[in-house]
Amino acid sequence: MFASFDFWLLIFLIIVALVALHLRDLIASVLVLTVYSLFMALLFASFGAVDVALVEATLGAGVTGVVFIAAIFLMRRRSKD
């Protein structure tokens, strides 16, 4: 049962990664990468690496998402020419 769960989780992770690459909106891409990180944490937990899953969920989904969104809001989108 768990091998099937891991397989479908890996397939979903590949799909989410491809969606994140093809999105043109930066905020949507960051949100999709946050979802990717949460599902990676779920995969790590299913492998028994709960400590790695906790770090992935905290840093990958939480801190990195906030830093990326803050960086997107702080950068200039157009030149002043």
**Using CA atoms, how far apart are residues 5 and 70, in angstroms rounded to an integer?**
35
**CA gap 20, 42 in Å, rounded:** 19
Q: Token pair of 46, please?
A: 């299913």
Buried-state track 22-32, b at ≥16 Cβ within 10 A, e below 16:
eeeeeeebbbb
Inform me whether the pLDDT recorded for 80 exceeds 80: no
Query: Domain segments of the chain: what residues?
Result: 2-74
Q: What is the pLDDT of residue 55?
A: 94
Per DSSP, the chain holds a count of helices (H) and strands (E) of 4, 0
At residue 5, the pLDDT reads 83
Above 80 in pLDDT, residue 64? Answer: yes
Q: What is the pTM of this model?
A: 0.81
Mean pLDDT in the chain? 88
What pLDDT, on the 0 to 100 scale, is given for residue 79? 59
Tokens of 66: 């906030």
Instruction: Note the pLDDT tens digit of each residue in 27-55.
Output: 999 999 999 999 999 999 988 999 999 99
